[in-house]
Amino acid sequence: MNSLIIFILPTLINIAWAFNANPDEIFNLPGLPEPVKFRQYSGYLNATKGRHHFYWYFEAEKDPETAPVVLWLNGGPMCSSILGMFTENGPYTVDSNGTKLIMNKYSWNKVVNIIYIESPAGVGFSYDENDPEPLNDNNHTAAANYFALESFFDKYPHLKKNAFYITGESYGGVYVPMLANEIFARKSSINLQGIAIGNGKYDFNLYDYTDQPTLSEYEFALGHGLISPHFYQQKIESCCSIDQDNMWKCDFLNPVNKTKCDSVKKEPVDVINRYNLYDNCPLEIVPVNNTDLFGLYNPYDPSNNLIKLPQNIDKPAYCAHSGHKEYMNRADVRKALHVRNDAPKWWDFKGNKDYAIDMRNGSLTFVDLIEKYRIAKILVYNGDFDSVCDFVTDARFVEGLGYKYTEEYRPWTVDGKQGGVEGGFVQHYEKGLSFLTVRGSGHMVPTDKPEAALQILKALIGYAKL
């Protein structure tokens, strides 16, 4: 009898394991140099009707059952979040040939369960059943992201009790807070605790449509030596006025004396990489069919810009190449990731010709999160070398929300210790709002300053203090 029990018990365990096995789990990922210390999953999430978002989920290396859950969204619009996984904060980077994966010691899944979702439909391996070139906008994307998240937690119900955070960068300044509002407005049981956005784009107005620089952009350019103090002073005196608080009030689109304002001009400065002024290597992202990169705030259009990219620049031989695009288009990789058989070629940036960008006041979304929904934490951070979404503009955006300081603007360190390596500067406000700069970083903070970015994540989830 005992021998029969011994024989049956393992069989029952195996049957139970097979019944509960997740078909999205990745078991044999090509190019891994060593067995990993975490489980990973990929596949499709159901979004709005007929739409399916591709995702890649990594369990935390420690205590995944209780660790916070973090969503990462790249911007664009129409950039793949898998790009961010490979080049910013995921467990792996890829060698130049797309053959080998290299472990990232600053991966965010060192401390959290992290999800990368390709959004909206049409990006990466995400798709619409009824339209190979689906149209997207901000509201539809927020709704689709919400339903994709609910689909994720349906697959992983044990995680729904865990603290949840939304993070992203660039056009994530639209994606992230709008998704957060969607979660609260729908009274979801998702345990959303906070959001963090790096080098975000929050507002869209006539300045974006005309590529006319703002006062913040002139000040950023002056601070980095891209324009002279003499030109700056001339421009301000010709285009701006002093208001009652002795502050410059500038309307460069409709100045008091347009002729005088327009007469003060200069040729844009050539910069190899607008996303990091001090990088001698150009940005590697190439849109599908060479459509404009990052839409209305387009660094390739020199019409009114203070800064532009030089024409016909050759990539220097010393500039590293990431083979993530080659890797994601390998047949064995697509099979391992459970990509559908008829999926098109994978691109890191689709191009945004099918994305409608509306004029918007992003501060309204933030104020709703803070006042209406009482979100616990909002963290806005900026690499100080980025000219596309510069830190002066974003600092003024946060300041304009109207909340009081809780302490003075001060340095923060990457290890949280006094006298440690300086990460940048931070300004804390009431109601869980913070703004910080990341010293020496461009647009993609986790790429340029990975240790600092990991510390920012820890601060968001309450594991560290800035």
Residue reference for tokens 């909206």: 120
Conformation bin of residue 310: beta by default, left when phi > 0, alpha when psi is -120 to 50 = beta
What's the token pair of residue 6? 């011994």
Contact present, 441 and 383 (Cβ < 8 Å)? yes
Interatomic CA distance for residues 200 and 202, integer angstroms: 6
- Nearest 10 degrees: CA dihedral of 230, 232, 236, 237? 0
Report, as residue numbers or ranges, the catalytic residues. Answer: 170, 386, 443
φ, ψ of residue 74 to 5 degrees: the values are -75, 170
Interatomic CA distance for residues 56 and 114, integer angstroms: 8
What is the DSSP pairing of strand 433-438 with strand 422-428?
Answer: antiparallel
